[in-house]
Structure 1
Amino acid sequence: MKTQPWQRDPEAYDFQFTITPLFFHLDVERHVNNVAVQSFHTEGRLRYLMNVSGADGIWCSDQVLLRPRRTVTQFLEETHYLTDVQCAVKLVAVDKDSCRFVIALFQNGECTSVQDCLMGAWRDGQWQPLPASLFDTLSARLGEVPELAPWPDFEAGPEADQGYPCRTPLEPRFIDQDTDRRLGELTIARYLEQSRVSSLDAMRLPGLGLLVARIDIHYLDWPAPLHSASLATGIAGFGNSSFRVHSGARVNDVLVGVCESVMVLMNREQRRPTPIDAAMRDAMAGSLVAG
């Protein structure tokens, strides 16, 4: 999935605000962590929706929950601490069952990441039509639709993780719940990050690092309460200097999210991609997705 030229232009968006990275957003690479970047995109859609339709039913609801069905986040540049980030949001599609946003982040005049997000309404354990009032409000706001890239060819069903060979148990925490006492969106992203990290030790060698180029998440369930969790991961394929990781997270033995991450092997000194050699491929052979 490639970014379109207009997505890198802040003037192409309908709604903008500034957000400040905090120190605890940093990871061991000393730039803003990928889930923290995703949290900025989440904040963008939330503020847009509150701006056009008010807070009621958007950020706190005991009835219909507005939640992402799928997000594809592309990381174009590193996001750094101590410099404000401009968050830009554009509504690009509305239908009876979903709405689609593009959210971009800009820092120091550069586009650092772009997210495509398909939102839906969740109630009684399944996706529902959008509330009529929200559908009407968003339809009235929808302007000219720009060119959009097709979604990546990565589908996910309720048993998608069965062929992922690396398994890790996880203990849910109180903080994993959101304001609706459901599993939080960013908690799912964090679980999937942990699943990916837990399976890549063979790629962590002196002088080498791993960067995330793209994260494609399908959100499948929003359980409450949280009793148990488990993670599953597998390598889905290698390129020259990149590889694809498939991850799944289960809560209460239900698959809540599945993810494809495109990772790039980097030479730390040169800050450039470096080839994945035969020894690394052999070391990861046991982690390949079955089938």
Structure 2
Amino acid sequence: MTAKNSKAKTNLYVQQLEQLKQKKTHLLKEVGDQWQTPTPLFWGINAKFGPFVHDIFTDDHNSKCPNFYTAEDNALVQDWTKDFAGGIGFANPPYSRTSLDDDNQAITGMRKIIAKAMAERDKGAKFVFAIKCAPSEVWWPEQADHVCFVRGRISFELPQWFIPANEKQEASSAGFGMAIVVFDKNWTGERLSYISRDALVKQGKMLLDMIDAAAKTKAANYIPTQITTSHNDSNTLGQSAQIDIEEQIAREPAQTNKKSGWPNEVFDLVEKAFAAYPEKISNYRHRHLCERANELLLLQHKHSDVLTELNAMLDKCEPMGEVA
């Protein structure tokens, strides 16, 4: 994945975000703008209104698209029309009050964000916002080309860097109403529509299952090759290449740990991590680490790299006896 500008200036908003990430533990009230779009929900929206090519508001770790703007890039000063290159952008925008970057340009604030959205829409950019269903707010995008109201409340996810200070710091399942807003001046469909949350999530999970199955098939059919090249004694241009194709290795389906419900390789990695931090074990942390390990393994990270990240997460946690 690529950000717009890796050399962008570090503004106060970014500095405060980095300081928050570096804390050993976190409280729910500190998450602020960093709540993440649930992955199945995103893929459901992507299936209906995408495909999305650019995530407009990210922190460089939670992007859902191949290309994205970080807070350092400041999406509100970028040329969306040019950067999307005819593709469709996606945003779960920040709702905090207006913050400014080093050039005194707004970086957050929904009124500023919607104003930018309408300007880019008029230039020809196409993008979709997943926003709180709040028509009474002054920033509500009355001039959007299409609004799809989602039936059912949405619970957003904690960021990956969130280390709960105690077991009370768990995301609420209450959630809030959401609308999917389309900005596309060439839109020819109806202005308003409705869709159920469950339908979006179901479609998203179907796509994720297809992606997972395709990845497993690719891995199972992988044929490792070894190429050796030898030069003749006179070191002339003549050379020969020998390609040895090893016998394909049949892979068994992943076995599940009956106690935890997670695949054995996930459970074993988390157990190894906690073996180094026995004083930090809790059911919530165990589940949190299993989720992260499973995600990294699906992305085909090496077991050693996954274990390193799990250890880093636990290193930030306070021993359970010291947690309030």
How would you bin the TM-score normalised by the shorter chain? under 0.3
TM-score of the aligned structures, taking structure 1 as reference length: 0.24
Would you tell me which structure has more strand in proportion to its own residues? 1
Larger Rg: 2
| TM-score under structure 2 length normalisation | 0.22
